[in-house]
Structure 1
Amino acid sequence: MTFSSQQRAVFFDLDDTLYDHLIPFRTALTRILATKEDFPYEQAYHRMRYFSDALSAELGGTPTHGEELHQMRRQRFQMALAEFDLQLTSEQAQAVQEEYLSLQYAIGLFDGVKELITDLKARNFIVGVITNGPPDHQMNKIQALALTKLIPEDQIFISGAVGFTKPDVRLFQHVTDKLGLAPENCCYIGDSWRNDVVGALDAGWKVLWFNHRNVTPESDHQPHHLVTGYPEITKVLLEQM
């Protein structure tokens, strides 16, 4: 389906934007490594995401299958947790990764997401998702969140299926070309500075940076809005966009 170039559109990142990605991370570390309550889970999670993005970039985009994918997933845990005095063997990193993966389908949307998407659609916004990762893995999460009840599958774009990986502007351009939208009428909401803020801004989109982990910008890019929760996101989208 294509739309008018004048149509306003809102697209969301998936991981740690529509649901709390920290929960499966924390549970995996607790179960496999017996980390304690006072372990800095949020800081470690942020570093894991950082290394995941950095390693993916070195490989030219998020790998979607094979040994490259498995090695990247192990290394991101080893590199991140080493900063917190946890030296993981390859076997331990694999065990953490497998537990983390198994927990990613027992997830739920952040409070306010369903209501916001419903309100946006009622106001004639196009609503979609743009996410990095292997198609089957990401779609399993999308199904677990029941997002396809809210968003048509042809408005859900997964990097592994498209062939371009955020922050590559070609992924965002693919979305606007596929749906007949104008970049200046598209807004993207995401938590990752590198993937979401940089990628969408460079593609000419409006950007809401969902910085609910209170992390530091990595470049001079200027998102249009900085938001830390869904009440703020809702207010910006429904009152200012």
Structure 2
Amino acid sequence: MQLLKALTPITVLSFDLDDTLYNNKPVIAAAEQAMLAALFKHAPVTITTDSDFWWQQRLRLAEITPDIRHDLGRWRLLAIDAGLQSLGLSSCEAGEIAQLAYDAFIQARTRISVHQAIKNLLQQLASQYQLIAITNGNACIDKMGIGQWFRFSLQAGPDGKMKPYPDMYLKAAQRLNIAPKQILHIGDSHRADVMGALKAGCQSAWLDHYNSRVAILPHIRLTNIHNLKAMLK
């Protein structure tokens, strides 16, 4: 752990989830395949489509309604609906099948295994700090078996604009009745986690997977999530 800026007293550790507590890439890949399989099952016309086709549907939707990007779940659902209609399905049929496909996606998306060593670390940290989660994604702390160590989890969309917007950080501080500077936010994305946390007045710990060079420094640079053991007294 590399201390880059002086820390002020911390009472809350805030965690990003995807690619911070686990590798999210295989999770998303499996969820995409589950979605495609459900689409083909309920709408055989989709056999000609792939993940890129559905990504293009999302991009088109975002051009029309840019704010939809802040709610990844709703964005994906509405894009599936739009894509099905573009393939000739009626609005009613597209809506029903889009929901089935999205349900298949989210079921696989929230099937996440967190290593026991990470769980042990969270349990140790929770004995000295309040833990919360702030995520742009759809991960569920209860389904992944770590919810017992967290006060709550905030998710982009239902709980405000996605990081790096300060909405969720400020909502967390308000909910905990503390100043934002009492929160140390830990995450792997420099833009979302470091810049977002600093913009909201929180302190930041960056899990730098790639030893990147940046102009805006976090308070702490981590090379491994287990570096946080140094926070234990």
TM over 0.5: yes
Q: Which residue number in structure 2 is paired with residue 128 of structure 1?
A: 132
SS of residue paired to 1:130: strand
Q: Do 2:12 and 2:182's aligned partners in 1 also have CA atoms closer than 8 Å? A: yes
What is the identity, as a one-letter code, of the residue corresponding to 1:62? H
> Structure 1 residue 159: deviation in Å?
2.0
Maintained 8 Å contact 1:120/1:238: yes
**In 2, Cα distance between equivalents of 1:157 and 1:121:** 18
Gaps of 5+ in 2: 1-8, 37-54, 81-101
Q: Output one character per residue of 1:51-79: Cα deviation in whole Å (capped at 9) or x when no partner.
A: x9xx79x547423454x435779xxxxxx
Partners of 1:65 and 1:128 in 2: how far apart?
A: 21
Give the deviation of 1:147 after TM superposition.
2.1
> Match for 1:206: what amino acid?
Q
Q: Give the deviation of 1:144 after TM superposition.
A: 2.0
Change (3 A) 1:69 1:29: closer
Aligned to 1:223: 218
Q: Would the aligned equivalents of 1:201 and 1:221 in 2 still touch at CA under 8 Å?
A: no
Secondary structure of 1:69's match? Answer: helix
Residue correspondences, number: 187
Deviation at 1:107, TM superposition (A): 1.7
- Secondary structure (helix, strand or coil) at the match of 1:128 reads strand
Go from structure 1 to structure 2 and tell me whether the alpha carbon gap of 1:130 and 1:29 turns closer, same or farther (over 3 Å shift).
Answer: closer
The answer as to whether partners of 1:28 and 1:99 remain within 8 angstroms in 2 is yes
- Find the counterpart in structure 1 of residue 155 from structure 2: 158
Measured in 2, the distance between the counterparts of 1:72 and 1:110 equals 33
Partner of residue 63 from structure 1, selected from 71, 86, 93: 71
- 1:20 is paired with a residue whose SS is coil
Relative distance call for 1:105 and 1:29 in structure 2 (3 A) is: closer
Q: 1:119 and 1:100 mapped to 2: Cα distance?
A: 33
In the superposition, the TM-score normalised over structure 1's length comes to 0.61
| 1:63–1:30 distance in 2 versus 1, CA, 3 Å | closer
Q: 2:146 is matched by which residue type in structure 1?
A: L
Task: Give the direction of change, closer, same or farther, for the CA distance of 1:171–1:30 in structure 2 (3 Å limit).
Answer: closer
Q: What is the rounded CA distance, in whole Å, between the counterparts of 1:99 and 1:113 in structure 2?
A: 27
> Which segments of 5 or more consecutive residues in structure 1 lack a partner in the other structure?
1-5, 33-47, 74-96
Aligned to 1:24: 27
How does 1:1-241 map onto structure 2 within 5 Å? 8-25=11-28, 59=67, 61-66=69-74, 68-70=75-77, 101-123=106-128, 125-133=129-137, 137-138=138-139, 141-152=140-151, 155-212=152-209, 214=210, 216=212, 220-235=215-230, 237-238=231-232
**In the aligned structure 1, how far is the partner of 2:172 from the partner of 2:70?**
18
How far the C-alpha of 1:201 sits from its partner, in A, is: 1.3
RMSD (CA atoms)? 3.9
8 A Cα contact 1:191 1:209, kept in partner = yes
CA positional deviation for 1:170: 2.4
Q: Is the 8 A contact 1:112 1:230 kept in 2?
A: no
Deviation digits for residues 128-185 of structure 1, max 9, x if unmatched? Answer: 111124xxx43xx322212222223xx2212222122211112211111111112222
Distance (whole Å) between structure 2 residues aligned to residue 202 and residue 209 of structure 1: 15
What does the per-residue CA deviation read over 1:30-54, in whole Å, with 9 as the maximum and x for residues that have no partner?
998xxxxxxxxxxxxxxx9xxx9xx
